Amino acid sequence: MTTQKAFLECKGVWKVFGPGAEDFATNPGGEASTEEFSAHGLIAGVRDASLSVAKGEIFIIMGLSGSGKSTLVRCMTGLHELTAGHVLIDGIDINNISEKELVKLRRKKISMVFQDFALLPHLTVLGNIAFPLKVQGVPRAEREATARKMIELVGLSGRESYYPDELSGGQQQRVGIARSLTTQPEVWFLDEPFSALDPLIRQEMQSEFLRLQAMLHKTIVFITHDFDEAIRLADRMAVMKDGEIVQMGTPEEFILNPANDYIREFTKHIPKDKVLKVGSIANGSDAPTNDQPLQASASLQSVAEQVIAGDGRHPVIDAAGQVIGSLHRSELGPYLL
């Protein structure tokens, strides 16, 4: 997926708050510590952030409170004016367009979902979901028809006339998600959308999110502070600290090659067999001797019982059925602890 052309790019993005921010961001810029920024009455919300998101990719940005993840997303959507750097969406540099063009870009290509749902209490489910189209001037019959399709998509059929206070937290979040999809955005930003939900409902909404993505293939930037949530949802991810991106890569890369002690602390309680795929530890040189193949894309957790119970080396195959390596039960030990 990372070999595809980037649909969303951040190039050297800075967001510094305070007087004289623009000058200080570039000189001394990355060499300045958080304390030096503070001494000048400045806060570095985002420091020299560069990343790219491919079309159809789920890209997770995570970090603890105050790490800069939400500030970076606000830079991506034009809600914060950049102190330095560039953000490009489908080749459009949002720093070099007018306010009118930016509003049009947000309406046509971008949609956002926040953790507080932000539903309008005086509107029904149907009214809330149709609201973005009403703002765009879409005729009532057309916008309500679209809203009903979104209601069915997120599993809320039969609740069209309910008001927000008549819905559970999970149902309210489904309304928020459906509303964000009515304009058929090309880039979908979600800022900790499930963090206010109970754990069981949160897992349910994560599953719902993956189901929707399998159908819609949106380009997604998803913000979370929960590493478990990140590794479940991400194609790739970035971890931020003090406004900087500390590491980027696939969830597997974070487990196998943590960049520093900060990342190790993040990952140390994550079950490796839950994250790692068979293909990532398959031996490419030893010939298989067992006739029971393993899918390279399967998690170690899902095949552990089969591998441990079997003799010899299992062939590991890719999506096309081609053997790309082999795996023996003796090689699972370090990843099942």
Residue ranges per structural domain of the chain: 55-71+97-273, 277-335
Strand 236-241 versus strand 244-249 pairing type: antiparallel
The sign of the dihedral angle between the CA atoms of 301, 305, 306, 310 is: positive
The gap from C-alpha 103 to its chain's centroid, in whole angstroms, comes to 23
Positions in the chain whose pLDDT score sits under 70? 1-4, 29, 337
Q: What is the third-level CATH fold of 55-71+97-273? A: Rossmann fold (3.40.50)
* Residues in contact with 186: Cβ distance below 8 Å, sequence separation at least 6, in sequence order: 7, 89, 90, 109, 110, 218, 219
Q: What does the alpha-carbon distance between residue 177 and residue 204 come to, in Å, rounded to a whole number?
A: 14
Q: What is the pLDDT of residue 249?
A: 95
Q: What is the pLDDT of residue 1?
A: 43
Q: What is the third-level CATH fold of 277-335? A: CBS-domain (3.10.580)
Predicted TM-score (pTM) above 0.85: yes
Q: Are 334 and 310 in contact (CB under 8 A)?
A: no
Q: What is the pLDDT of residue 259?
A: 94
Q: What is the pLDDT of residue 4?
A: 67
